[in-house]
Chain A
Amino acid sequence: MAGISLAAIGVGLVVIGASYGIGKIGGSAMDAVARQPEAASKIQTAMIISCALIEGVALFGVVVSLLVA
């Protein structure tokens, strides 16, 4: 039981970190698109790549927690 609750706390921490990162990327991408609407598609691609990289790290945490729990 202790393992499961610790794993749940770990997942929570991972989610905080990942959502902070993805939120920051999303906000900056919005700013960038507002300044240069013609570069929207390029910004979007870069945004999705960096979101995917952050999400990858977050999912490492989720998988490790699943294995521990």
Chain B
Amino acid sequence: MTAIQISNVEKSYRAFKALRGISLAVEEGEFFGLLGPNGAGKTTLISIVAGLIRADAGSVQIHGHDVVADFREARKKLGVVPQELVFDPFFTVRETLRLQSGYFGIRNNDKWIDEVMENLDLANKADVNMRALSGGMKRRVLVAQALVHKPPVIVLDEPTAGVDVELRQTLWKFISRLNREGHTVVLTTHYLEEAQAMCQRVAMLKLGRVVALDTMPALLRRVSGAQLIVRLKSGGLPEELRHLIAHDERNNGNQYSLRVNDYAEVEPILARLRQSGAVIDEMQLQQADLEDIFLQIMEGSAQ
């Protein structure tokens, strides 16, 4: 069954086209990643799925329920962790979670609320006012709020932005458990290693379009090669090797990151370097990861 069906969704803000006809489907039980640089349209798309923004054209269905025409059923199936660290300063953690349960039509939800708090290490903050919590703790409450009604589809918009390692681990442990138990998870993140570790399938967005949509192994196979990183003690990179330079932050000063398709290409590069009189100080070979693919796709896709 399809958990989220997005069909030809378009959205403009005056002259700016935030989404230019997005279509994709997330299957039930998937751990799906939505990646893209800032301004790609990830949050706009998630907001349309959540019913927080109306699309100009196209439709979104959650478990077969249209998010506009049949919003009540659609929203019952969906739990959203918003990107912004928002909270209601009038209430304690437990009050916040009880109220959120009530909005979803659930009374006497304390057993599940306790379990969620336990899993997110929030139990000792249950009776603390939201104002008194640290940023990380507020983030946990946001996650808990999205889960009070046990939604089959969970959407997390940058859940680990600016949070410490401990929360990241707690969060991923719990979300992975929910995914194993059958919940569909959609994640947007800037941490590509996180997406690579968690997501089974990924859509990459750029300027309001889907520029890649594939399973993680298939995406990783797209860049068959690796990166040869060389730091030169003396001399420079010969001109004819410059086209191999990968655009990433590992290039600096006399350190170069060069794209190679297979190991056989390494030796000719080293030979050319020796020939030019350059002396290698340090060298390493790194397998391509999601970040390389992301950069390649973002650089390569049409503007």
Q: Do the two shown chains form a genuine complex with each other?
A: no
